[in-house]
């Protein structure tokens, strides 16, 4: 790739991925995840009341769904990239170092749904209604979470000379900062497609679309969540094709490319089958508020 000149434009990446507060190390990746969870809980609470539920029930359910989702996301990552942790010379305990990055959204959603199912059973409310209510919040959380990858200088595409190319540093995860050369300057690995940014923006677009169609139309129970699945994976398929960071391959394509394609098909089929049904409500056998109340609750 051509060398950089003073007039070249690029998107900078941080040279610090963590900071210290006394004996504690605070990772920006974790803060982005927490910010996303907070937004998801807030938005879901508003949408949940529009389906006849109580706002406090969302937090009760999320106390089960969020930890399960984090565990599921980490398990998926470790299973699909075991050589990062279990080959000779690797530290298997790093499989638990979630703050260094590595959460597979597929595992996070799958086990998160299991956690939500437990929470809904304990709260005696509808899981399907909760999934429809939480879908926009989840994808906005994903949009925020992708900025954790920016702090970690990861999730980028091929080298490029585009004006919005992303500067990537060689990072030392243990130190929480970039590796420096003899002069003390951060070592730059190159300039790449900012696929983390593309995915973050795509998540925002899909989230806004979900809010619009759920307000504009009477979508059947489960169809909002199905549309989230199909919408997110459509973009994820394209972004996986753009990425150049390390990943295991199947028939020349990244594992997540195949997974995105299969889950997109499942989400699209589910939406077609469900969208004409009755709207989901929080309490089985109950009824949702009228559309005017829904508009107020959804903002």
What average pLDDT does the segment 180-192 reach? Answer: 93
Question: Does 293 score more than 60 pLDDT?
Answer: no
Q: Report the chain's C-alpha Rg in angstroms.
A: 21
CB 256 within 8 A of CB 293: no
What pLDDT, in 10s, does the model give residues 128-174?
999 999 999 999 999 999 999 999 998 899 999 999 999 999 999 88
Question: Does 223 score more than 60 pLDDT?
Answer: yes
Three-state DSSP class for 71? helix
CB 168 within 8 A of CB 13: yes
Q: Cα torsion for 139, 33, 281, 124, to the nearest 10°? A: 150
Alpha carbon of residue 84 to chain centroid: 21
d(CA 141, CA 73): 14
Specify the pTM.
0.85
Q: Which residue in 38, 58, 43, 55 sits closest to 299, CA to CA?
A: 43
Contacts of 185 (CB under 8 A, 6+ apart): none
What pLDDT, in 10s, does the model give residues 103-122?
788 889 999 999 999 999 99
Question: In terms of DSSP bridges, do strands 18-21 and 24-27 run parallel, antiparallel, or are they unpaired?
Answer: antiparallel
Question: Positive or negative, the Cα torsion across 53, 60, 144, 90?
Answer: negative
**φ, ψ of residue 20 in degrees (nearest 5):** -115, 135
pLDDT for the residue 288: 54
pLDDT for the residue 58: 95
């Amino acid at each position: 790739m051509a060398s950089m000149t003073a007039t070249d434009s690029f998107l900078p990446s941080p040279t610090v991925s963590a900071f210290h507060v006394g004996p504690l190390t605070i990772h920006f990746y974790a803060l982005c995840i927490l910010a996303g969870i907070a937004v998801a809980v807030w938005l879901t609470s508003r949408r949940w009341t529009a389906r006849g539920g109580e706002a406090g029930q969302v937090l009760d359910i999320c106390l089960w769904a969020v930890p399960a989702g984090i565990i599921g996301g980490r398990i998926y990552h470790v299973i699909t990239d075991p050589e990062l942790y279990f080959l000779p010379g690797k530290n298997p305990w790093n499989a638990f170092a979630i703050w260094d990055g590595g959460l597979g959204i597929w595992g996070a959603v799958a086990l998160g749904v299991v956690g939500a199912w437990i929470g809904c059973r304990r709260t005696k409310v509808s899981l399907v209604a909760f999934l429809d209510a939480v879908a926009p919040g989840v994808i906005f959380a994903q949009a925020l979470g992708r900025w954790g990858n920016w702090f970690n200088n990861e999730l980028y595409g091929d080298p490029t000379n585009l004006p919005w190319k992303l500067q990537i540093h060689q990072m030392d995860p243990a130190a929480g900062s970039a590796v420096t050369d003899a002069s003390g300057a951060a070592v730059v690995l190159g300039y790449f497609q900012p696929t983390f940014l593309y995915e973050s923006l795509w998540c925002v677009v899909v989230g806004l679309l979900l809010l619009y169609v759920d307000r504009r139309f009477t979508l059947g129970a489960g169809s909002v969540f199905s549309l989230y699945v199909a919408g997110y994976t459509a973009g994820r398929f394209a972004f996986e094709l753009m990425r150049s960071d390390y990943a295991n391959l199947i028939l020349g394509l990244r594992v997540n490319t195949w997974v995105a394609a299969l889950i997109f098909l499942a989400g699209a089929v589910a939406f077609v089958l469900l969208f004409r049904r009755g709207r989901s409500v929080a309490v089985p056998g109950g009824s949702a508020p009228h559309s005017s109340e829904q508009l107020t609750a959804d903002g």
